[in-house]
Amino acid sequence: MPAPERIPAGRVMPGEETVTAGGGAAGRAADGRTGDGPGGGRGDSPDGGPDGQANGDGNGGANGSGNGSATGGISARAAGRPGRLTAEALTHGELTVRGQVREASNAVLYCTVTHEDISGTCVYKPVAGERPLWDFPDGTLAQREVAAYELSRATGWDLVPTTVLRDGPYGQGMVQEWIEAAPEGAELLALVEGEEPEPGWKPVGFAEVGEGRTALLVHADDERLRRLAVLDAVINNGDRKGGHLLPADGGRLYAIDHGVTFNAEDKLRTLLWGWAGEPLTEEAREVLGRLATALEEGAPLAARLAGLITAAELAALRARVADLLRTGVHPRPGGDWPPIPWPPV
């Protein structure tokens, strides 16, 4: 089995801008320009890519996984282990922009945050740097990233790094703990020859690899990925690419880039179709049952989500959880929306 395709390292352009919690002002951009805020963004259209829409909501481009290591003389390793940066530290700490992640479709700033005796690195995506999308309300991607974190926490799987909504040097945005991908992380995706995967792998579909050749796209038959497939179905993730998967130290797996989620219409696009139509695990059914209760009107989780997504999107979220519990199987690709994101990494 060949190794999965690696994504080239992104670029961070050095710069500095500091703000304490509650502050925030336009100033010197991360690359030294002046103006109202950093540029960047992604432009989607119904015919924006080979599969109908080219997504990629902003945390991509660094170390092959979006939230990973960067070049430009800036250390990308957090001051502590993944998980040390608490929501309190990310929300109330002093946020300093150190650089800008290049090759991301929306503005993505690499930052340090310090709060009392805790310090570390994080990603800051200002709402001002979000490029408008044809199928999502303007200026809502940051809130969706936070909503995905809230759902991840509620499952108990903790697949999404700690993520908060706060003011920063360029206004309100989402701030997320920076996760350093393990250099020897397990292979999760691969392109292989033949029509059937080897044991331990699940088929996704065939992909053109050039010169009229095709290869079978596969992902690992990994319980962490299977949990993520359930989470993506719940949050209606429209852009689960291979570059959004971060194997970390200790066997942990994190997933990033959740700006195009929670749409009221079916938008599920993912590389994790290997379990499509298979029964959900007992663990997944138990988690979904707890989620259904936590999403009831007046419950704390439902109240938090109501401040991040629309009422129609919250109702659709409840319906997706109920449908998964009713069918008891992983969803299959729908016929009205391209099922695999492009590019797949």
**Distance, CA of 3 to CA of 311 (rounded, Å):** 43
User: Residue with structure tokens 């800051």?
Assistant: 124
With a cut of 50, say whether residue 50 has pLDDT above it.
no
Q: How much of the chain, in percent, has pLDDT values that exceed 70?
A: 76
The tens digit of pLDDT for each residue in 93-102 reads 999 999 998 8
The full set of domain ranges for the chain reads 10-177, 189-327
User: Do strands 70-71 and 10-19 pair parallel, antiparallel, or not at all (unpaired)?
Assistant: parallel
Global pTM?
A: 0.79
Planar angle of CA 212, 215, 219, nearest 5 degrees? 155
The tens digit of pLDDT for each residue in 285-313 reads 999 999 999 999 999 999 999 999 999 99
Dig out the tokens for 163 from the structure: 């993520």
Dig out the tokens for 325 from the structure: 């519990």
